[in-house]
Amino acid sequence: MTTEYFNDIGLEKNLHLYKQLVLLRRFEERVYFQYMQGEIPGTLHQYHGQEAVAVGVCDHLSKTDWITSTHRPHGHALAKGVSPRAAMAELYAKATGCCKAKGGSMHLGDPEVGMLPAIAIVGGGNTIVTGLGLAFKMRRSEQVAVCFFGDGATNEGAFHEGLNFAAVQKMPIVFVCENNLYGASTPYHAVSPITDVADRACAYGVPAQIVDGMDVLAVHQAAQEAIASARGGSGPVLLECKTYRYIGHSRSDARHYRTREEEAAWAAKDPIPRLGNMLIESRQVSQSDLDAIEHEIESVLDDAVEFARNSPEPTPEQAVMDIFA
Amino acid sequence: MTQMIDEQQVATQRKLTIAEALREGIAEEMRRDESVFLIGEDIGIEGGFGGAFGVYLGLTDEFGHDRIVDTPISEKVIAGAATGAAMMGMRPIADMQYADFLFECMDELVNQAAKMRYMSGGKVRVPMVMRAPVGATARGAQHGQCPESYFIHVPGLKVVCVSDAYHAKGILKSAVRDDNPVLIFEHKLLYGSKGRASAGGLDLTAYVPEEEYLFPIGKAVIKREGRDVTIVATHISLYRSMQVATELAQAGIECEVIDPITLNPFDKETLFASVQKTGRLVIVHEDTLTGGWGAEVAALVAEHCLFYLEAPIKRVATFDTVLPAAPSLEQVVVPTVERIKATILSLFD
Ligand SMILES: Cc1ncc(C[n+]2csc(CCOP(=O)(O)OP(=O)(O)O)c2C)c(N)n1
Ligand SMILES: [Mg+2]
């Protein structure tokens, strides 16, 4: 099925998706490295492993569409079009960051590309996004809002209130749950009596689909239909993307709550070689083409790190500016 | 502003209740600006309440259900949707049936609405209004609190208390046009016309001109001038303080009564000028005592005007208790005329 979709969307699109996956992955690897060098303050919630979700969904959005994100926003930001420079500088807490160093890792975002500052309160975006949907609907603007959230958010009241209100108002919203099996150290099954988040959508009359979140083409295809439906006025859709974070929840997590076998099983589904192999098997692309993409991304990230390092610190006055408009 | 209104004009021109004035202000803003809309529970349903206190009655006829959005009983969604829509350039006026329910949406107000501008490095605006009725009215512990002090503690929120029709309308219109989240607290006993018995049978209508006007956020009003003691009070406590001022005048004590209207940002200039003149300060609010906004006002005056003071700063507030249901007990805990009066007199011993 994915092979068919691979053929449908054409080489250029597949290469673009591949490049985006590589960008998100290598960005996180670089960020981790620079963090360990002591160049990045604070903590990090990283996106390794989940790239197919952000890439597959955001590829259908234009700059005038909006997303809300979570405490794990680096991948969403890059996929929605925040530049690697502006994102890296924000992580470096520099004045040139996309939020002028006042947002930081957990609040990455940029209204100029249609991303609110990420919301690090679990479930926080699930009510806020209804305001986006309401505004788009009132203005008949044909914009769409996408709300990214984790499995952990589905046990917050906000998840239920947001989904219900979006549904009753037929809002142009796609709710994208990234079910990576854990909320911090807690397995989803330990705190939820159901296996699939998607099952919750029927309580609100919302169509839902379970998607292989390790397959960028599966996400891309599901998101295309969901976004078109929401944009067309049929109301919200929920996508549950089954995925996995390869690294710890945040920087201090030794992952004793899960097995190395489980981690290996998910790593075997990695979205990057999966699409890479399809590209090579299609005979339209060679390994050296893929290597060239790696090199290109590497220089983008070299540039982003240099930019961040050389950028000025925010001036002290900034600490008390931008509180009120 | 109020003081400057010609007395004769007042006598011949129309008087409105707070509910009527708010309704008129909302309608004017909705006519003026397409992006203004209402959102809340029981606000636009045909045959419904027109809001818990009837403020929106009739508005659906003019503006329709597209601009008067009835929500489920989901306070998180009311505040969240208002915040989200505001960031998209709309100007929502959100309605909380009772201020007590604001605790349901503390995250949306405190973590989201108040912080989005800052977290974005100044790139987003959150031009929303949230209206919430406060005040003890024999409904017990969960329908009578005055929670405005929780919100003055939050950088990024503006907090307003309206106590008369003229200023209610004027500041509501300013709040709608403000590019920040503004919470407007209204007292349940002050909405109506001829004053409910529990409001002391007050005439609660006020002169409201036909012509458009705005009243600015951040500006206090001197309701009564006096040289002996400054009283800062809001809502029903303001009316009780005015009554005390009238009574004490007969005893030769001249009270200066200030309605701060905006609690954050506070009009320090008017406050300090008054205290420097009178040398005494009493703050009266129906919020509970500990950590109430009166404590902040007291601290401001202690920091800036200590050497002008001739007596200790006093606060008259609801006692630190859960609100009782029994009307007799309720009157024990809220600031009454007697308690305000006794407190002021204690400063002249
Ligand atoms: C309201 C709230 N409660 C708790 C936390 C602390 N916390 C941060 S992330 C997290 C786990 C979230 O899990 P999930 O939603 O599945 O997202 P994931 O981390 O897996 O991406 C927790 C408990 C928080 N940020 N907000
Ligand atoms: Mg999770």
Instruction: Tell me the ipTM for this assembly.
Output: 0.97
Q: Are residues B200 and B293 in the same domain?
A: no
Shared domain for B177 and B245, answered yes or no, is no
End-to-end, the C-alpha distance of chain B in Å comes to 35
Is B212 domain-assigned? no
Give the residue numbers spanning the domain of B226: 221-346
Q: How many domains does chain A have?
A: 1
- Identify whether residues B43 and B145 lie together within a single domain: yes
* B215 lies in some domain: no
Are B256 and B179 within one domain? no
Q: Which of A71, A155, A176, A182 should be mutated for ligand 1, with most atoms under 8 A from CB?
A: A71
Q: How confident is the model at residue B199 (pLDDT cuts 50, 70, 90)?
A: low
| Residue at B68 is within a domain | yes
**What residues 122-141 of chain B have any CB closer than 8 A to a CB of chain A?**
122-127
Q: Which atom of ligand 1 lies at the shortest distance from residue A50's CA?
A: 21
A148 lines ligand 1 (CB under 6 A): no
Mutate to test the interface with B, among A110, A130, A147 (most CBs of B within 10 A): A130
**Predicted confidence (pLDDT) at residue B8 exceeds the cutoff of 70:** no
The predicted structure's pLDDT at residue A137: 98
- B2 in any annotated domain: no
Please check whether residues B185 and B235 belong to one and the same domain: no
The Cα–Cα gap between A150 and B50 comes to 38
Q: Is the pLDDT confidence value at A153 over 50?
A: yes
Helix (H, G, I), strand (E, B) or coil at A238: strand
Q: Which of A66, A158, A323 sits opposite B118 (nearest CB)?
A: A323
Q: Which residues of B touch A149 (CB under 8 A)?
A: none
Cβ B346 vs Cβ B314: under 8 Å:
yes
**CB of A120 shorter than 6 A to ligand 1:** yes
Instruction: Output the CA–CA distances (angstroms, integers) from residue A42 to A86, A104, A115, A171, in the order listed.
Output: 17, 8, 22, 36
| Rg (alpha carbons) of chain A, rounded to whole number | 19
Does residue A235 have a pLDDT over 80?
yes
Q: For residues B223 and B252, what is the distance between their CA atoms, to the nearest angstrom?
A: 18
pLDDT single digits (tens) B261-312? 999 999 999 999 999 999 999 999 999 999 999 999 999 999 999 999 999 9
Residue A134 lies in a domain: yes
Say if residues B62 and B50 touch (Cβ distance below 8 Å).
no
CATH at B276: 3.40.50.920
Local structure of B259: helix, strand or coil: strand
One domain for residues B37 and B74: yes
A164 belongs to a structural domain: yes
Both B202 and B331 in one domain: the answer is: no
Among A30, A82, A77, CA closest to A54: A77
**Has residue A124 been placed in a domain?**
yes
Whether residue A263 is contained in a domain is answered as yes
The whole model's pTM is what? 0.97
CA A122 to ligand 1 center in whole angstroms: 5
Q: Is B342 within the bounds of a domain?
A: yes
Instruction: Quick: pLDDT tens for B138-152.
Output: 999 999 999 999 999
Same domain as B225, residue B203: no
Q: State the total domains in chain B.
A: 2
Give me the pLDDT at residue B10, please. Answer: 57
Inform me whether the C-beta atom of residue A127 falls under 8 Å from chain B C-beta atoms.
yes
The pLDDT value given to residue B1:
41
Question: Is B241:B232 a contact under the CB 8 Å cutoff?
Answer: no
In degrees rounded to 5, what are phi and psi of residue B315?
-120, 135
Residue A17 resides in a domain:
no
Q: Is the pLDDT of residue B2 over 50?
A: no
Given CB atoms, is B175 within the 8 Å cutoff of chain A?
no
Name the residue with tokens 């503690």: B153
B216 assigned to some structural domain: no
Q: Residue A139 belongs to what domain range?
A: 41-81+106-283
Residue nearest to atom 12 of ligand 1 (CA): A183
Asked if the C-beta of B26 comes within 8 angstroms of chain A's C-beta atoms, the answer is: no
How many whole angstroms from A97 Cα to the centroid of ligand 2?
27
Whether omega for the bond prior to residue B265 falls within 30 degrees of 0, making it cis, is yes
Which domain-ending residue is among B207, B229, B252? Answer: B207
Neighbours of A136 (CB within 10 A): 24
- Give the domain CATH number at A115: 3.40.50.970
Helix H segments across chain A? 2-36, 51-58, 74-80, 84-91, 125-139, 157-168, 188-191, 216-231, 260-267, 271-281, 287-310
| CB interface of A with B, residues 153-172, below 8 Å | 157-158, 161-162, 164-165, 168-169
List, by residue number, the catalytic residues of B: 143
Mutating to test ligand 1, I would choose from A47, A122, A155, A249 the residue with most ligand atoms within 8 A of its C-beta, which is A122
Write down the pLDDT at residue B204.
84
Does one domain contain both B17 and B161?
yes
Residue nearest to atom 6 of ligand 1 (CA): A122
d(CA B335, CA B349): 21
Q: Is B291 left (phi over 0), alpha (psi -120 to 50) or beta?
A: left
Q: Is residue A23 part of a domain?
A: no
Amino acid in the structure at residue A272: I
Q: Mean pLDDT lowest for which of A125-129, B195-199, B326-330?
A: B195-199
Residues B129, B46 within the same domain: yes
CB-based contact B230:B281 (threshold 8 Å): yes
The answer to whether residue A177 is domain-embedded is yes
Q: What pLDDT does residue B194 have? A: 58
For residue B64, how many C-alpha atoms fall within 13 Å in the half-sphere facing its CB? Answer: 4
One domain, residues B244 and B288: yes
Q: Is A263 exposed, middle or buried (0-12, 13-18, 19+ CB in 10 A)?
A: middle
Note the pLDDT of residue A97.
98
Chain A residue whose CA is closest to B156:
A323
Nearest to B10, CA basis, from B208, B236, B204: B208
The per-residue pLDDT for B52 is 85
In this structure, are B227 and B200 located in the same domain?
Answer: no
